[in-house]
Amino acid sequence: MQYVWFIWSLILLALWGLVYLLKKDARKEMLKMSWITMPFGLTEPLFVPEYWHPPSLFDLAIQTGFDIESLIFSFAIGGIGTVLYNLIFKRRYVKIPHSERSHKRHSLHVYILFVPVLVFAGFSLFTELNHIYCGILAMFIGGLATLYCRPDLKGKIWVGGILFTVLYFVYFGSILPFYPDYVALYWNLENLTHILILGIPIEELLFAFTFGMYWSGLYEHLYWQKLMKPIVIT
């Protein structure tokens, strides 16, 4: 099982590459958000071995807490999570005019972008919660905070969370028929809820939902974009 995590991360990267090749109009957003998400892979020491302890290339995860797979994984989910809703519902971006940016609800724009970081830091420093729960709460609260500035993204944020959860469920479930003991061996289930859904720890699905929820609206919030249906010329 030494290379399962590596192969698993490459499968997700291949999916990213397929979307990138087929959807030219999504490439800019995918690249921007993937590069922004990739450094979060460097937080892996917060989760290894507290949350899980997977075998990794060169045994980096066990020896250092860091691993190459987490960087690949973070890069891939950043781009996919950003454009998944748009691809399914055929939406495109348009710039929010400066006249709209002066609205009262945007006065906390910059501060709200930092809500997940502050929430994660607060729970990590002042509670004994496993860091996976700190991350889940941080992204969930970050998604709710985004709605204050961007109520127009309400549908995308909630539906985006559901869509990414479904995708992640299929992705995670794809490995279990080949390695049915993988979760039992490498997740520290004694530190978690012990709730498994078809063999998948519920923490993984909560992570997927809150990540999809927050990340699906982050590009629009960060770069002052809004969604539009494509104009059909008849």
| Residue 104 falls inside a structural domain | yes
CA distance 133 to 136: 5
Instruction: Say what the pLDDT of residue 156 is.
Output: 95
| Residue 233 falls inside a structural domain | no
Q: Looking at the 3D structure of the chain, how many domains does it have? A: 1
| Residue 74 falls inside a structural domain | yes
Q: Which helix (H) or strand (E) holds 92?
A: strand 92-95
- Judge if the upstream peptide bond of residue 49 is cis by omega within 30 degrees of 0: yes
What number of CA atoms fall less than 13 Å from residue 186's CA on the CB side? Answer: 19
| Residue 159 falls inside a structural domain | yes
| Residue 114 falls inside a structural domain | yes
pLDDT in tens, 7-32: 999 999 999 999 999 999 999 999 99
CA distances (Å), origin 38, targets 29, 99, 232, 234:
14, 33, 36, 42
The 10 Å Cβ neighbour count of residue 130 is 19
DSSP string, 120-184: HHHHHHHS---HHHHHHHHHHHHHHHHHHH-GGGHHHHHHHHHHHHHHHHHHHHTTTTT-TTHHH
Instruction: Say what the pLDDT of residue 230 is.
Output: 64
| Residue 121 falls inside a structural domain | yes
pLDDT in tens, 34-71: 999 999 999 999 999 999 999 999 888 888 888 999 99
CA distance 216 to 161: 7
| Residue 234 falls inside a structural domain | no
pLDDT in tens, 220-232: 999 999 988 765 4
CB 179 within 8 A of CB 54: no
Instruction: Say what the pLDDT of residue 63 is.
Output: 86
- Which of the residue ranges 43-52, 100-109, 141-150, 187-196 would you say has the lowest mean pLDDT? 100-109
CB 192 within 8 A of CB 57: no
- Which of the residue ranges 21-30, 91-100, 166-175 would you say has the lowest mean pLDDT? 91-100
Average pLDDT over residues 178-196: 95
Instruction: Say what the pLDDT of residue 228 is.
Output: 84
Q: Is a pLDDT exceeding 70 seen at residue 234?
A: no
Residue type, 209: F
**pTM for this one?**
0.93
Q: How many helices (H) and strands (E) does the chain have?
A: 11, 4
**What is the domain range of residue 221?**
4-228
